[in-house]
Structure 1
Amino acid sequence: MHKDDVRPIRSLVFVPGDDAGALDTSRSSGADAVVVDLEEPREPFSDEQRRDAGRMVGEFLRSLPDDGDHPSYFVRVRSPRTGLMYRDLHPVLCGALTGVLTPKLEDGRDVVAADAIVTAAEVENDVAVGTVALYPILETAAALRNAYDIADASPRVAYMGGAISRFGDIHQSVGYRWTAEGTETLFIRSKVLIDCRAAGIKYPISGMWGGTNDDLDGLRRFATELRDLGYFGMMLNTAEHVDVVHEVFSPTADEVRYWADLDRLATEAAADPDAGPITYGDPNDGEGHVVHGAHVASARKNLAWARELGLA
C-alpha cells in the first residue's frame, strides 16, 4: 500500500488479540478499522499465550470473506527494536491484513527496519510485496520530535498521527497530566498533524479520548477539536463510541452541497470563455463570496474525501 492509495479511517477500534469473542464481535462493530493488539493486550502476557494468540488471529484474518463487508484490520506487534516483531507478524500476515501498527518507534531508522520485516513476512506468506501498510504509533518524546522523518521514511507509511492517551506510553514519556479539555496535548496533536501532512499522509488519525466511556459530550468535544485541527479520524478503545465519532468525522450534507456547487460553477466557467468572476452566496461572506482557484481545489479535494466515505 502507498500513501496515495489509502481510504479515510474515521474510527480505529482496539481489541485484544487473545480474546476470540472480541475478535468475532469486531466484525460487526461498525468501525471503519480494527486494531488487533498483539503487543500488550493484557498484563501479564506470556510467550505461550502470545503464540496462541498469534495463531488464533491468523486463523481469524484468513477466515474473513473477500467481499469486504467488514472493517479493515490492522495488528499491533512489538517494536522492531525488540527483535521480536517478525515473530509476532509472521503468523498473522495475510491478504486480509491492511496494515501493521508499529509502536515505540524513535526515528526513521525504526521505520526502515519495520519495512524490511514486513517485506520478509510478505514473502514468507505469499503476499505481494508492498501490500501491507505501516502505521507508526508515536508514543515517545523522540518519536514526536522525529514525526516528519518517521512519516517520510517509507512509502508503506500510509496512516499516522499522535497516540494521545491518558495512561499510555506517551503520557509516561512526555509527563503531561491528562485533562478533558486537552490543552496539555494540543501542541503535540498540532505538531504531529503538520508533520504528517508535510510527509504526504493523506488522512491523519489521532489518539484516544481519555475520559470515561459514558462521557459522550466530552468525547464529542475532543473529536470535534481533532476534526477542526485537520484530523480525519481517531483511535477508540470501545466500539460504543463509533457512532459519535463517525458523525464528527463525516462531512455534513451542507458541506457536500457547497463543495459540489463550487465544483459545478468552476466547471461551467471553464467551458465559457466569456464567464465573469465566480461568486457564491452572500457578499457579506467576505472571502467566501468571490471564488478563487484555491477554493475550488479545496472543494474538489473535500468532495473526493466525501466520495471515499460514500457520502457524495
Structure 2
Amino acid sequence: MRRAPRFNADAYILDLEDSVPPPEKSAARESVGRMVQELGEAGQTIVVRVNRLETGLTGGDLEAIVGPHLYCVLLPKVEGPDDVVEVDILLRHFEREKGLEVGKIFIDPALETASGIRQSWEIANASPRVAHMGASGGKGGDTARSIGFQWTPEGMETLFLRSKVLVDVRAAGIPYPMSGGWMDIHDLEGLRRSAQQAKQLGYTGMHLIHPSHVPVVNEVFTPSEEEVAHYKGLIEAMEETRAQGGAAVTFGGDMVDIAHEETARAMLEIAREMGVPGA
C-alpha cells in the first residue's frame, strides 16, 4: 500500500471486503486504518471499500477507518437507499465521536445487483454524501451473476445498465459518475476501448484494479490539447458572431449556438482542473 502514490491515480481504494479472508478481517482493519492516516498525511486521496452491511462488519470497519484523512467509503453490493442511509448514520456517529466535521466523508455506493441498479435514482438521492456512483459491468462478477448477462469486450450487454445508472446519477446532481473497471490486467487496448466508451457515455472516470491501467485511463479521460483548442475556437467564433448581432455560426462544419458554447466552456473548466496546457 505504501507504493500507491507512485502510480499517479486520482485516488486509492484500500480494500476490506472480498480481497481479505474472514480470519484476517480484524488485522486488516488495523492495517488499513494506519494506511488511511499515513497516505492521507502524504497528500493522497483515500477511499476504503468496507464490508457490506449484511456481514455485520461494516460498523467495525468504519470505526477503524474514520478519520480526518478518509475521503470516501466505497459501499459494496448496495441493494437500496436504506443501505446508504444506514452508513450515513454510522459515519455521522463516528465523525462526532472523533471530533470531525460531520458530512465531510463521502459515500460511493457500488451497484452490483439487479435491485441496486433498479433503484439507482433512489440510492443517488439517499444522502448528500453520495458524490460518486456508477454501474459495474465487469466480467464474471457480482453484477453479471445477478443480472445474468454474458460479458463481451464490446459491452453491448451492459450498455443499458450503464446508461440507466448514468442518467440517474446526473439527474441527482452527483458530480463524478464512475464507470466499473476492466478486469483483464494485460489487455490494455481493450481497457482503452472500454474507457473511451465510458467517456462517450458521460462517465468522468473508472474504478481500476491494477496500476498498469492508470496511465491509459488518465489519458482517455483527460481532455487533449487538440480538444482544448477546439473548445477555445468554438467560444471565440461564438463571441465574434454575438458581437455582430448573431446567435449561431458554422464552426468546423457544424452549426453551433449558445448551447454548444456552454458545453465548450464546461469542458474547458474540466481541462483547467486537470491542468491541461493551454486550457
Aligned to 2:39: 64
- Checking the alignment, whether the CA contact within 8 Å between 1:81 and 1:110 is kept in structure 2 is no
Structure ranking higher on relative contact order (CA contacts 8 Å, 6+ apart): 1
- Checking the alignment, whether the CA contact within 8 Å between 1:160 and 1:204 is kept in structure 2 is yes
Q: Which one-letter code corresponds to 1:222 in the other structure?
A: S
- Checking the alignment, whether the CA contact within 8 Å between 1:151 and 1:199 is kept in structure 2 is yes
Q: How does 1:46-61 map to 2 (within 5 A)?
A: 46=23, 49-61=24-36
2:234 alignment partner, one of 255, 258, 262: 262
2:157 alignment partner, one of 163, 181, 184: 184
Counterpart-to-counterpart distance in 2, 1:173 and 1:82: 19
Partner secondary structure for residue 261 of structure 2? helix
Aligned to 1:304: 269
Matched, 1:96 2:73: no
Superposition deviation, residue 94 in structure 1: 1.2
Aligned to 1:279: 249
Counterpart-to-counterpart distance in 1, 2:140 and 2:91: 29
Larger mean Cα displacement after TM superposition, 100-109 or 57-66: 57-66
Superposition deviation, residue 268 in structure 1: 6.1
Aligned to 1:240: 212
Superposition deviation, residue 36 in structure 1: 0.6
**Residues 116-163 of structure 1: CA distance to partner in whole angstroms, max 9, x if unpaired?**
111112112222101100000001100000011101111100000012
**Residues 8-41 of structure 1: CA distance to partner in whole angstroms, max 9, x if unpaired?**
xxxxxxxxxxxxxxx1111211111111111222
Aligned to 1:217: 189
Aligned to 2:5: 27
Superposition deviation, residue 304 in structure 1: 1.6
Counterpart-to-counterpart distance in 2, 1:67 and 1:278: 49
Gaps of 5+ in 1: 1-22
Counterpart-to-counterpart distance in 1, 2:161 and 2:73: 23
Matched, 1:228 2:200: yes
- Checking the alignment, whether the CA contact within 8 Å between 2:40 and 2:46 is kept in structure 1 is no
Q: Which one-letter code corresponds to 1:45 in the other structure?
A: P
Q: How does 1:103-182 map to 2 (within 5 A)?
A: 103-182=76-155
Normalized per residue, which structure has more helix? 2
Pick closer, same or farther for the CA change 1:267–1:98 going to 2, 3 Å: farther
Gaps of 5+ in 2: none
- Checking the alignment, whether the CA contact within 8 Å between 2:138 and 2:182 is kept in structure 1 is yes
Counterpart-to-counterpart distance in 2, 1:268 and 1:80: 57
Larger mean Cα displacement after TM superposition, 254-263 or 54-63: 254-263
TM-score, normalised to structure 1, is: 0.83
Cα RMSD, aligned residues only: 1.9
Q: Which one-letter code corresponds to 2:100 in the other structure?
A: V
Partner secondary structure for residue 123 of structure 2? helix
Pick closer, same or farther for the CA change 1:262–1:252 going to 2, 3 Å: same
Counterpart-to-counterpart distance in 1, 2:38 and 2:240: 49
Superposition deviation, residue 65 in structure 1: 5.8
- Checking the alignment, whether the CA contact within 8 Å between 1:256 and 1:306 is kept in structure 2 is yes
